[in-house]
């Protein structure tokens, strides 16, 4: 039994006593693997896929896997932003309502029944509004010192109302084909939405681990006080993460909502629950400082697959009513398992 990969080599290092080295008995490698929540989620994901594939091999057909990815691409994009927000020890539950509002705006601007604006211009407006709402969240949280759960709860309600006012209870139809291309089209055989999501995920990963800004986001979430002493501006960093999330919601709307031929006033409802849950299942700590983009992506895939698995298990139509119950139970189990694992680690 070794005690930790590096300290074990110096159980009694002459300089500074290593307090952590004395009392651990779980094998170091296993422990560090368990500590990486991403591995746990990945294993769970693999198990789920395997189990479903055994019951119904059709699940593994490329077309189906592609559908899973396409369906979850917008969630992954938003979740990347929310990961950063949660890493700074804040939260954003307005993303679903914002996506709803942006869908309405997008539809009203481009539909042949309404403004029928140039699609590129409309897309820019959608991104600008998303970024702007994110910035308002950020200003209220960082500069007006209103707790983020309050700000984004208020936004959740207000934006939902604004969406319904805009759409007046009607569905928007007749979206131009050039817009629909974002949701349905492919480039070199790969759907645009998957490409966009992949690009943004990679960008977010680089941001998180390879840039000064990224490390500062983690520093602020880990210890605001120390961050201030290190010369960082927690306010500006928090403003950034909320603004960035707003922008990503805009992108997710453009590639996610356009796969439908009509825009439903209820779009975006409960997205915030899905996204926040995925981020947390993916290993982010809501007390800040901890969380990775790859974990979040795995979390989104896991939750997304659990959602679609039921139809593939061929358990009958009546069972679709149980979808949310099973999803909820699954989350509880994941949280429980993770927690028990985490406890051992500590």
By CB under 8 A, is residue 202 in contact with another protein?
no
Helix (H) or strand (E) holding 134: helix 119-138
Interface of this chain with another protein, residues 232 to 261, rule: CB under 8 A: 232
Interface of this chain with another protein, residues 135 to 174, rule: CB under 8 A: 140, 144-147, 149-151, 153-162, 164-165
- Largest distance between two CA atoms of the chain: 78
Interface of this chain with another protein, residues 102 to 141, rule: CB under 8 A: 140
User: For another protein, which is the closer residue by CB, 65 or 158?
Assistant: 158
By CB under 8 A, is residue 223 in contact with another protein?
yes
CB of 71 to another protein, least distance (A): 18
Stretch that binds another protein, among 65-73, 120-128, 182-190, 213-221 (CB under 8 A): 213-221
By CB under 8 A, is residue 212 in contact with another protein?
yes
Interface of this chain with another protein, residues 4 to 23, rule: CB under 8 A: 5-7, 9-10, 12-20, 22-23
Q: From the centroid of its chain, how far is CA 130?
A: 16
CB of 233 to another protein, least distance (A): 10
Provide the 10 A C-beta neighbour count for residue 132.
14
x/- track of binding to another protein for residues 316-335 (CB under 8 A): --x--xxxxxxxxx-xx--x
Helix (H) or strand (E) holding 190: strand 190-191
By CB under 8 A, is residue 313 in contact with another protein?
no
Q: Which residue reads 């939750």 in tokens?
A: 303
Interface of this chain with another protein, residues 68 to 97, rule: CB under 8 A: 91
DSSP one-letter string for 294-311: HHHHHHHHHHHHHHHHHH
Q: Is 121 exposed, middle or buried (0-12, 13-18, 19+ CB in 10 A)?
A: exposed
Q: What are the φ and ψ backbone dihedral angles of 90, each rounded to 5 degrees?
A: -115, -175
Single residue of 186, 336, 341, 344 touching another protein by CB under 8 A = 336
Q: Tell me the two tokens of residue 109.
A: 């601007």
By CB under 8 A, is residue 341 in contact with another protein?
no
What's the residue count for the chain?
346
Q: Tell me the two tokens of residue 271.
A: 């997205």
């Amino acid at each position: 039994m070794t005690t930790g990969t590096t300290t074990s080599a110096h159980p009694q290092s002459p300089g500074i006593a290593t307090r952590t080295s004395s009392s651990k008995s779980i094998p170091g490698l296993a422990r560090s693997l368990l500590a990486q929540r991403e591995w746990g989620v990945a294993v769970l994901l693999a198990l789920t896929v395997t189990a479903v594939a055994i019951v119904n091999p059709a699940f593994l057909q490329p077309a189906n896997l592609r559908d899973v990815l396409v369906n979850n691409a917008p969630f992954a994009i938003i979740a990347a932003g929310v990961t950063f927000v949660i890493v700074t020890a804040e939260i954003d539950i307005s993303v679903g309502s914002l996506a709803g509002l942006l869908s309405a705006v997008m539809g009203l601007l481009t539909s042949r029944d309404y403004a029928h604006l140039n699609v590129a211009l409309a897309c820019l407006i959608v991104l600008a509004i998303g970024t702007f709402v994110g910035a308002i969240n950020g200003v209220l949280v960082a500069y007006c010192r209103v707790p983020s759960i309050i700000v984004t709860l208020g936004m959740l309600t207000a934006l939902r109302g604004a969406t319904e006012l805009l759409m007046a209870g009607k569905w928007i139809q007749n979206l131009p084909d050039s817009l629909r291309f974002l949701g349905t089209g492919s480039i070199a055989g790969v759907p645009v939405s998957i490409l966009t999501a992949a690009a943004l995920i990679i960008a977010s990963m680089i941001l998180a681990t390879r840039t000064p800004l990224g490390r500062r986001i983690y520093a602020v979430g880990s210890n605001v006080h120390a961050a201030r002493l290190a010369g960082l501006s927690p306010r500006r960093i928090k403003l950034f993460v909320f603004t960035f999330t707003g922008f990503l919601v805009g992108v997710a709307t453009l590639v996610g909502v356009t796969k439908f031929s009509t825009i439903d006033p209820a779009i975006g409802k409960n997205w915030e629950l899905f996204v926040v849950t995925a981020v947390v299942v993916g290993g982010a700590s809501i007390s800040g400082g901890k969380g990775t983009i790859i974990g979040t992506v795995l979390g989104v895939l896991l939750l997304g697959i659990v959602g679609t698995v039921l139809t593939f298990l061929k358990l009958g139509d009546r069972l679709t009513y149980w979808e949310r119950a099973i999803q909820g139970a699954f989350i509880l189990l994941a949280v429980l398992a993770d927690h028990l694992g985490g406890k051992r680690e500590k």
